[in-house]
Amino acid sequence: MPVAKPPRQAGIDPRGQSCLSGGMSEGPSPARICPFEKLHPSLLLRDDEFFMKLAYNQAIEAWRVDETPIGAVIEIGGEIIAQAHNLVENSGDPTAHAEILALTQAAKAIGDWRLTGARMFVTKEPCPMCSGASIMARLREVVYGVPDPKMGCLGGAASVHELPKLNHHLKVRGGILAPECHVLLKAYFQEKREED
């Protein structure tokens, strides 16, 4: 008979701050040391790199709660309306990807599921589910860091945003902070393989 897992404790980062920022109420897994530092974008210039650095910081938070380090930020008119990171393992929910959590937060923030005019910045090219959700949410643009040739569906493995019969088309750009996002993901999976 399988033994039930004990409930997870609230995660605390090395500075004593809560690691849960993805919008879920259950406590994350215990804190994990992330060897990467958060980035500190200038508040004076809210360009694409600024928003991607914030998404990268969300990915660091994901690492700290032992989740695949992917982060997402959604902005409208230069104002951040949502930030999230992966919480699949901690929530036991296969849909708790950074993008889905951020889309849900953004819809609540503006009081409308149509996120017309919003842009999402995500550290890795979205999967089929998150690509479809980005289209359904009527985002104006998705900007990602590192491409995903195996599962990415905004130009990597497929291009769902280019289906000819869609009633909404979004802009897609990749490569913003790609080296940093790539190194973070690669290091996380290397560490996980070494643990096994």
Q: Identify the three-state secondary structure at position 121.
A: strand
CB crowding 70-94: b at 16 or more within 10 Å, else e: bbbbbbbeeebbbbbbbbbbbbeee
Q: Other CB atoms closer than 10 Å to residue 114's CB: what's the count?
A: 13
Strand partners, 12: 18
**How much is the CA Rg of the chain, to the nearest whole Å?**
16
Q: Would you name the residues annotated as active-site residues?
A: 99
d(CA 170, CA 188): 30
Q: Kindly state the tokens that stand for 185.
A: 């993901």
How many CB atoms neighbour CB 115 within 10 A?
24
Using a 10 angstrom Cβ sphere, with 0-12 exposed, 13-18 middle and 19 or more buried, the burial of residue 22 is buried
- Which residues pair with residue 6 across a beta bridge? none
